[in-house]
Amino acid sequence: MHQHDDDDNLPDRDAGIEGYQKIDRYNPELIESLSGHYHEVLKQIGENPEREGLLKTPERVAKALMYLTHGYDLDAQQILKSAMFKEEYSQMVVVKDIEVYSMCEHHMLPFFGKAHVAYIPNGHVVGLSKIPRIVDVFARRLQVQERLTNEIRDCIQDTLNPIGVGVVIECRHLCMSMRGVQKQNSVTTTSAFTGAFLMDKTRTEFLNLISSKLS
Ligand SMILES: Nc1nc2c(ncn2[C@@H]2O[C@H](COP(=O)(O)OP(=O)(O)OP(=O)(O)O)[C@@H](O)[C@H]2O)c(=O)[nH]1
Ligand SMILES: [Zn+2]
C-alpha cells in the first residue's frame, strides 16, 4: 500500500510497505498505550509489574521497540538523493563491515551482523555515509534477511542508476540461537546483485575485496 505524507510533519517514508500504517512513533499517548500492553505482558509471564525494578520497564520497552522499528519512518531514496555528486569515477566503490541490527519478523528477536555494499558509478557517486544510513533504514524494521538484502540493492539501483550493485549480508539470528533450534554459531549469508555484478569477474572482485583483512 502506498502512503502519502502530505498532511503532517513526519518525513516521507519510502512507499510500498505492505499494509503499514503511518504513526507518530514517539507520541507520548502512543508510548503510554504500548506501555500498557507491556504491563500486561509482564503479568502474563508471571512477573509482578509493580515491583521496583519493573516499574518503568513497560515504558522503557515501548520506547526501545519504537526506536528499533524507526526505519519505517525514513525514506531511503531521499537519503541517497540528498548526497549524489557528479563524478567520473568508474571503479567499484565498496563499503564493507557495516554493522546491522535488525529484528526477524517471525519472532521479533534480533538478528545482527555485517553488511557489505558495493556499486560501480555511472556518472554519479553518493556520499559514503549514506550507504550505512540506508542499510539502517531497511534494517530498523521487522525483516527477513533476504528482503533486507534485496531492498538495499534495489534502493541503490533505482536511485543512483549505477552500472551495478552488490550486497552481501552475514548475520546471526537470536531466534536460532537462544530458542528454537539453538545453534549458537550458525551465520546466515545472503547476497543480491544487479548489472555488472551478475558477471563472475566483477562479483569475484567484490567478494575478494570484502574478504580482505586490510581494514
Ligand atoms: N528465510 C528466513 N527465515 C528466517 C529469518 N529469520 C527467522 N527465520 C525463520 O523463520 C522460520 C519460522 O518458522 P516456523 O516454523 O513458523 O516458526 P517456529 O516454529 O518458531 O520455528 P523454529 O525457529 O524452527 O522453532 C524459522 O525457520 C526461522 O528460523 C530470516 O531472516 N529469513
Ligand atoms: Zn526469528
Whole-angstrom distance, CA of residue 201 vs CA of residue 159: 24
Those residues whose beta carbon sits under 5 angstroms from the ion ligand 2 are 104, 106-107, 175
Among this protein's residues, is 70 annotated catalytic? Answer: no
Q: Which CATH number fits the domain 28-68, given the four candidates 1.10.260.40, 1.10.286.10, 3.20.20.70, 2.170.190.11?
A: 1.10.286.10
As for the ipTM of the complex, it is 0.91
Using DSSP, state whether 150 is helix, strand or coil.
Answer: helix
Using DSSP, state whether 104 is helix, strand or coil.
Answer: strand
Best mutation site among 102, 106, 143 for ligand 1, i.e. most ligand atoms within 8 A of its Cβ? Answer: 106
Query: What's the confidence (pLDDT) of residue 213?
Result: 66
Query: What's the confidence (pLDDT) of residue 5?
Result: 41
Query: What's the confidence (pLDDT) of residue 214?
Result: 52
> For residues 87 and 149, is the Cβ–Cβ distance under 8 A?
no
Among this protein's residues, is 182 annotated catalytic? Answer: no
Query: What's the confidence (pLDDT) of residue 22?
Result: 86
> Thinking of the domain 84-211, which architecture would CATH place it in?
2-Layer Sandwich (3.30)
Which parts of the chain have pLDDT scores under 50?
1-15, 215
Query: What's the confidence (pLDDT) of residue 101?
Result: 98
User: Which sequence spans correspond to the domains of the chain?
Assistant: 28-68, 84-211
Burial 22-46 (b: 16+ CB within 10 A, else e): beebeeeeebeebbeebbeebeeee
The binding-site residues of ligand 1, defined as CB within 6 angstroms of any ligand atom, are 104, 106, 144-146, 173, 175-176, 180-181
